[in-house]
Structure 1
Amino acid sequence: VIVNRVAVDDYISKVVSSEIGGEAPMEALKAQAVCARTYILKCSNSKYKKYNAIADDSTSYQVYNRIGENNKTKKAAKATNGIVMTYENELINAYYFSTSCGYTTDYRIWGKEKKLYLKGTNLTKNKTDIIEETNFKKIITKNIKSYEDKYPFYRWKTILTSNEISQTISTTYRQNLGKIEKIEILERGTGGIASQILVNGNKGKIIIKGQSDIRKNIYHYGMKIKLNGGSEVNNISMLPSAFIYIEKTGNNYIIWGGGFGHGSGMSQNAAIEMAKEGRTYDYILKKFYHKIELSK
């Protein structure tokens, strides 16, 4: 095991370059720096305790030094030196992700512990109740105006066969559902994220809960995902997000989706677009983390 002992701002600079990219506008880089610093100082995972370490360099924590720092990321780390986000005088869990569907979700995707600074954010001008299925379908199958409506993962679509879904569920849960006859979204959370799905087969049924398990199991390795703008990808390990609407056609299931990532906290691409509009890093952070304080 190689343990890297590193000064906080050196770490932050390399996380910023690896997570959001060193070419982002400075205020977005500063926002990412504060997120990264808050996140790592909040870490208390016992997994690496025997090595006197608190995190690894992967997406399980934060990506560190995969892309080298540059002068801008160094400047962002230095400009925000020591600044963290707190809520009621405690460091927050500064979750962030790549791209929103126009909405973010709340703390419930992480469990029952209340994190009231994660309330979910509407980045569109749409005012309808998108937890209602018909309303969610309308927004997720259209490229409604938002900060990220030009980004590839803002809207996406894939088609899975009954057999492909059945195979994936069988591999994960060791349960043979047979031919999938119906997939129903039982519950949606804040922002319209699917939080509970019922999969009915001719040999059984299963309820899949939580955004992570939904993304991993309403999925099949190598599936083609058509992105906003017409490009395609087929090399990701799960659905891009759980902001999805599922439509049956014959033995196939069309999955309409939006966003890339878990969907809670700061959307990095929205932060980039806000910075391009002239928004400061503190404005950006307070857009995604409600009633937080910036403390040094």
Structure 2
Amino acid sequence: MVNQMNARSILSFFNSIPKSLGFALLIWVAAMMPARAGGSVELRVAIEQNAPQVNVGSSGTAQVLDGSGQVVGEIQAMNGFAAQAKNGGVALDRWKSGAMWIVPKQATDVVWIGNRWYRGRVYLVPTGKGLTAVNYVDLEQYLFSVLGAEMNGNWPQEALKAQAVAARSYAVYKLQGARNSINSVFDLDDTTRSQVYNGVQSESTGTQQAVLSTAGQVLAYNNRVVEAYFHSSAGGCTEGSENVWSTALPYFQSRQVGFDEGTPVSAWSKTLSLSEMSSHFGVGNIQRIAPKNLTKCGRVLAMEIVGDRGTKIVKGDDIQAALNLRSTLFTIAAQPIASKAGGKATLQFVVTGRGFGHGVGMSQWGAYNMARQGKKYNEILPQYYIGAVLVPLDPQ
């Protein structure tokens, strides 16, 4: 029998939520939450994947449905359960089925998945390595959370509106691709692999306002919704998508943009010792490092690294990962330094870079600066999605 968690146990889940939230958060959500509009788009977001068990519950009474949609029982408000994959199906308290739903009776109630509260409903399905929990949630309500997770909810409204349109476009693009795959059980996940989605805890009045004021608006190019990537800071130059993911998309172009100058991540540097630098690349003590291939913007596609035990050509993103750099828009300079013991001079390496992220699509800090300068969201977006236009989303 799967362990049932009493009300006291599920309340302990709140330990992962800031104390300023808790029950006050649920009351706020209930007050602010609009009911799902007819004809709206529902997303499938994977919250837990291949997990041995998933903690689930509801803020109000919820129905438990089997995989065919038949009601098999109810769970009461603030009672938590540990769902498990068992014998090719899902076990939840006394119920077992090939798959299972948890559906709140009231649209204003929220569901618990893992360690957070979410709007919408829960679909539990066994996978080869465990259990996957999918949050079925209205697109606009999903964006309430994404905006607060991907951008500061206190930023200017026009920047948040630009983010709302970009995030909505990206989600719809991914949804369309997933729905064309018969084996897909979700459209996106809740991490940076898709868009960060933290449930109701990352919502705010500012994010809700930005989403609702742009509701249903997406970016399209040649009558197709665009894959609207975004990042923290372009470092002065947006990147062509072919230099990051091999596929050239006409609305992502390498071009100089000065909108994010002076922001916290527009320029940065890092100094590494010879031993720190050499430990990552397997060529012994590094003697020389030089760019092998750069993009038009100057992002590193590859560098030649020469050491006393060999030479390697290393990809720019591999160097970024190894050295924990903010972007591939960097240079590396070797500087001789005298030995403290007065012996032979050695080297240190100074990495000087710009921007944060892949550089494709909208720079969030650029949007912030333009909004501060009085630009509207429909003036911000064309700077980053070249030739794309704002269109209303067809929910069909």
Q: TM-score range by the shorter chain?
A: 0.7 to 0.9
Match of 2:189 in 1: 56
How far is the alpha carbon of 1:283 from its aligned partner? 1.0
**Aligned counterparts of 1:36 and 1:114: Cα–Cα separation in 2:** 20
CA displacement, residues 25-81 of structure 1 (integer Å, 9 cap, x when unaligned): 1111110001111111111369x9867212111111111126521122112111111
Amino acid in structure 1 at the alignment position of 2:165: V
Return the structure number with greater strand share: 2
**Aligned counterparts of 1:95 and 1:208: Cα–Cα separation in 2:** 25
Is the contact made by 2:178 and 2:184 (CA closer than 8 Å) also made in structure 1? no
**Aligned counterparts of 2:171 and 2:249: Cα–Cα separation in 1:** 17
Instruction: Please give the residue correspondences for 1:36-185 in structure 2 after superposition, counting only pairs within 5 Å.
Output: 36-43=167-174, 44=177, 52-65=185-198, 67-124=201-258, 147-169=259-281, 176-185=282-291
How far is the alpha carbon of 1:253 from its aligned partner? 1.0
**Aligned counterparts of 1:29 and 1:153: Cα–Cα separation in 2:** 19
Return the structure number with greater helix share: 1
Is the contact made by 2:277 and 2:349 (CA closer than 8 Å) also made in structure 1? no
Match of 2:99 in 1: none
Picking from 204, 208, 218, the partner of 2:310 is 204
TM-score by length of 2: 0.59
Instruction: Please give the residue correspondences for 1:26-45 in structure 2 after superposition, counting only pairs within 5 Å.
Output: 26-43=157-174, 44=177
**Aligned counterparts of 1:155 and 1:242: Cα–Cα separation in 2:** 12
Is the contact made by 1:162 and 1:181 (CA closer than 8 Å) also made in structure 2? no
How far is the alpha carbon of 1:156 from its aligned partner? 0.9
Match of 1:285 in 2: 381
Describe the SS at the equivalent of 2:255: coil
**Aligned counterparts of 1:149 and 1:12: Cα–Cα separation in 2:** 28
**Aligned counterparts of 1:273 and 1:32: Cα–Cα separation in 2:** 13
**Structure 1 pair 70–99 and aligned structure 2 pair: CA distance change class (3 A):** same
Amino acid in structure 2 at the alignment position of 1:199: I
CA displacement, residues 184-212 of structure 1 (integer Å, 9 cap, x when unaligned): 111211322111111111111211224x3
Match of 2:152 in 1: 21
Q: CA RMSD in A?
A: 1.9
**2:134 matches 1:3:** yes
Unaligned runs of 5+ in 2: 1-131, 337-346
How far is the alpha carbon of 1:121 from its aligned partner? 3.1
> Of the two, which has the highest radius of gyration?
2
CA displacement, residues 160-184 of structure 1 (integer Å, 9 cap, x when unaligned): 1232223223xxxxxx311111111
Amino acid in structure 2 at the alignment position of 1:197: M
Describe the SS at the equivalent of 1:106: coil
Amino acid in structure 1 at the alignment position of 2:355: G
**2:349 matches 1:215:** no
Is the contact made by 1:30 and 1:76 (CA closer than 8 Å) also made in structure 2? yes
- The structure with higher relative contact order (CA 8 Å, sep 6+) is 1
Unaligned runs of 5+ in 1: 125-146, 170-175, 220-237
Identity of aligned residues (%): 32
Match of 1:244 in 2: 330
Amino acid in structure 1 at the alignment position of 2:273: T
Is the contact made by 1:17 and 1:69 (CA closer than 8 Å) also made in structure 2? yes
**Aligned counterparts of 1:49 and 1:23: Cα–Cα separation in 2:** 40
**Structure 1 pair 50–167 and aligned structure 2 pair: CA distance change class (3 A):** farther
Is the contact made by 2:251 and 2:385 (CA closer than 8 Å) also made in structure 1? yes
**Aligned counterparts of 1:248 and 1:107: Cα–Cα separation in 2:** 30
**Aligned counterparts of 1:265 and 1:19: Cα–Cα separation in 2:** 14
**Aligned counterparts of 1:190 and 1:281: Cα–Cα separation in 2:** 27
**Aligned counterparts of 2:260 and 2:358: Cα–Cα separation in 1:** 16
Describe the SS at the equivalent of 1:13: helix
**Aligned counterparts of 1:9 and 1:190: Cα–Cα separation in 2:** 37
**Structure 1 pair 71–286 and aligned structure 2 pair: CA distance change class (3 A):** same
Aligned residue pairs, count: 247
Match of 1:173 in 2: none
Match of 2:110 in 1: none
TM-score by length of 1: 0.78
Match of 1:229 in 2: none
How far is the alpha carbon of 1:249 from its aligned partner? 0.6
